[in-house]
């Protein structure tokens, strides 16, 4: 399957647009990202965790856009003392909670 075909169902342009809009609002509300994150005035990971909790309490998906933005800001201006990017393979992944569609298929195939 081609990239464009996969992204039609596996990606949300609307989510990206909502995230971008939230970043513009945040610029006026809080100031510049490079100052707030770069000078460690705001703790991005703790702010992200607050929004995970708020989403769990309310179900308001606006908090999911905020979570993604705080993750992006941490990526751009990492505060973690050992931050780095390295693409990992499956054996280094923390995994998922639950069983995915493909895992179920493989399980069924292995147990026929």
Residue-wise pLDDT for 40-98, tens only, equals: 999 999 999 999 999 999 999 999 999 999 999 999 999 999 999 999 998 898 888 99
Contact 54/63 with Cβ under 8 angstroms? yes
Residue-wise pLDDT for 23-36, tens only, equals: 999 999 999 999 99
Give dist(CA 5, CA 41) in Å, integer. 41
Report the alpha-carbon angle 13-16-21, nearest 5.
130
* Number of compact structural domains in the chain: 1
Range of 77's domain? 3-81
Instruction: Dump strand ranges (E) for 53-101.
Output: none
In this prediction the pTM is: 0.89
pLDDT at 3: 96
Residue-wise pLDDT for 82-96, tens only, equals: 999 999 998 898 888
- Start-to-end CA span in the chain (Å): 27
Task: Answer yes or no: is 89 within a domain.
Answer: no
Task: Answer yes or no: is 98 within a domain.
Answer: no
């Amino acid at each position: 399957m081609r990239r464009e075909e996969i992204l039609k169902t596996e990606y949300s342009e609307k989510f990206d647009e909502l995230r971008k809009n939230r970043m513009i609002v945040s610029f006026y509300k809080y100031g510049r990202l490079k100052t707030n994150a770069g000078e460690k005035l705001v703790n991005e990971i703790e702010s992200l965790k607050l929004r995970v909790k708020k989403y769990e309490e309310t179900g308001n998906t606006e908090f999911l856009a905020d979570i993604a933005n705080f993750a992006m800001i941490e990526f751009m201006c990492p505060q973690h003392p050992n931050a780095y990017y390295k693409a990992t393979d499956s054996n280094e992944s923390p995994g998922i909670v639950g069983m995915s569609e493909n895992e179920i298929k493989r399980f069924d195939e292995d147990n026929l």
